[in-house]
């Protein structure tokens, strides 16, 4: 199913552009490339939800394009077409497969073996590793030699939410580029048409601490009907009409981050008194406030790229929500 997020990213890719708030970083890299100073090891860092992968994909295509023009891929050559269809033979993408959280050493070795051969299309080769911290130590060690002595026109694009989790030896062999949280003005014109207007966009950016793709993902999962089902589910849990594991069933298919954000709003609404469950005695708020601060910590971890087991975490959250707010 094509979500709004994939459509939006797809549009950016078709136009061979980075996302609007990435323009200055893009320009910096293109300038380095055009003057022959782009390093072979590029480490792209920033919180999850800022569009790092989208940026790395646009950069891959730019590096592989046969006729780049004015600092962007042409979008028309054979290399561009193959990039856009995800079948360019000199573009390698390494990410954890299916439910695994690590990049398998065998997958990495196969790629490192392949890049010993001559490039098949335009001469350049790009190896994108995302998230780079999902390499274990043996994978990172296997990569080191290639970062030290990359073949001509070979680029390693390491995308990382948590660069501190990468071995220092890998970090020191790459140039680091940071995607920071963009200013709201740079994001709103892009986000508002995708999420139902400026007010919704501002609200989503506040909830996701300014991360545009996280905001879009929440908007995508939060159609009015789904939201209603979710809030009714929380209500039913508190009144004992459903069990915590039944609530987990209702949450299936939603990202952990979107559930955590909705729970934060729900607990906030209870504590601020806009819902009737809690009376005026402040001591009765204590469990809710403790749970709220736990949710905030979890939100920071998840938005920072950590990936706890979703089912176990949702079970735990459902039990804790009932304990914190239930009567």
75/210 with CB nearer Zn ion: 75
- Least distance between Zn ion and beta carbon 61 (Å): 7
81/232 with CB nearer Zn ion: 81
Structure-block tokens of residue 28: 């910096």
Q: Which stretch, 70-78, 156-164, 181-189, 305-313, contacts Zn ion (CB under 5 A)? A: 70-78
80/248 with CB nearer Zn ion: 80
Q: Is 72 near Zn ion (CB under 5 A)?
A: no
- Least distance between Zn ion and beta carbon 31 (Å): 19
Q: Is 77 near Zn ion (CB under 5 A)?
A: yes
Q: Which stretch, 35-43, 65-73, 130-138, 196-204, contacts Zn ion (CB under 5 A)? A: 65-73
**Dist CA 146 CA 237 (whole Å):** 54
> What are residue 203's phi and psi, to 5 degrees?
-65, -45
Classify residue 208 by burial, with Cβ atoms within 10 Å: 0-12, 13-18, 19+.
buried
Q: Which stretch, 72-80, 91-99, 232-240, 246-254, contacts Zn ion (CB under 5 A)? A: 72-80
41/75 with CB nearer Zn ion: 75
Any alpha helices (H) in the chain, and if so which ranges?
A: 4-14, 23-34, 52-64, 78-84, 105-114, 137-148, 168-171, 184-195, 198-207, 212-221, 224-239, 244-251, 256-271, 286-303, 310-325
Q: Which stretch, 68-76, 123-131, 158-166, 241-249, contacts Zn ion (CB under 5 A)? A: 68-76
- Least distance between Zn ion and beta carbon 68 (Å): 7
Sequence-ordered list of residues with C-beta below 8 angstroms from that of 29, at least 6 positions apart, any chain: 38, 42, 59, 177
- Least distance between Zn ion and beta carbon 190 (Å): 24
SS3 135: strand
Of the candidate residues 48, 63, 65, 302, the single one contacting Zn ion (CB under 5 A):
65
Q: Which residues pair with 135 in a beta bridge?
A: 103
* Site of tokens 């991360």: 211
Structure-block tokens of residue 186: 């740079």
User: What is the 8-class DSSP label of residue 181?
Assistant: P
63/65 with CB nearer Zn ion: 65
Of the candidate residues 18, 48, 80, 321, the single one contacting Zn ion (CB under 5 A):
80
User: What is the 8-class DSSP label of residue 285?
Assistant: G
Size of the site for Zn ion (CB under 5 A): 5
69/296 with CB nearer Zn ion: 69
- Least distance between Zn ion and beta carbon 208 (Å): 33
Q: Distance from first CA to last CA of the chain, Å, rounded? A: 40
Of the candidate residues 74, 84, 119, 231, the single one contacting Zn ion (CB under 5 A):
74
Positions that interact with Zn ion (CB under 5 A): 65, 73-74, 77, 80
């Amino acid at each position: 199913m094509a979500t709004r997020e994939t459509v939006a990213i797809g549009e950016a890719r078709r136009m061979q552009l980075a996302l609007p708030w990435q323009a200055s970083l893009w320009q910096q890299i293109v300038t380095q490339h055009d003057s022959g100073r782009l390093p072979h090891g590029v480490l792209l860092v920033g919180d999850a939800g800022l569009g790092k992968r989208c940026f790395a994909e646009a950069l891959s295509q730019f590096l592989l394009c046969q006729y780049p023009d004015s600092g962007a891929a042409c979008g028309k050559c054979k290399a561009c077409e193959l990039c856009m269809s995800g079948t360019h033979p000199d573009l390698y993408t390494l990410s954890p497969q299916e439910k695994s959280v690590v990049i398998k050493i065998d997958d990495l070795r196969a790629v490192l073996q392949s890049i010993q051969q001559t490039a098949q299309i335009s001469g350049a080769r790009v190896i994108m590793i995302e998230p780079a911290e999902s390499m274990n130590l043996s994978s990172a060690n296997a990569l080191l030699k290639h970062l030290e002595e990359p073949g001509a026109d070979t680029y390693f694009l390491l995308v990382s939410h948590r660069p501190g989790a990468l071995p220092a030896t890998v970090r020191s062999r790459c140039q680091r580029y940071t995607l920071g949280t963009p200013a709201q003005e740079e994001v709103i014109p892009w986000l508002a048409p995708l999420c139902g207007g400026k007010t919704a966009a501002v609200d989503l950016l506040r909830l996701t601490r300014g991360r545009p793709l996280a905001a879009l993902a929440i908007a995508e999962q939060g159609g009015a009907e789904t939201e209603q089902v979710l809030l009714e589910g929380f209500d039913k849990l508190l009144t004992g009409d459903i069990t915590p594991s039944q609530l987990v069933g209702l949450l299936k298919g939603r990202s952990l981050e979107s559930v955590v954000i909705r729970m934060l709003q729900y607990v906030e609404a209870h504590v601020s008194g806009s819902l009737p469950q809690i009376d005026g005695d402040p001591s009765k708020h204590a469990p809710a406030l403790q749970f709220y601060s736990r949710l905030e910590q979890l939100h920071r971890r998840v938005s920072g790229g950590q990936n706890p087991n979703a089912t176990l975490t949702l079970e735990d959250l459902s039990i804790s929500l009932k304990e914190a707010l239930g009567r």
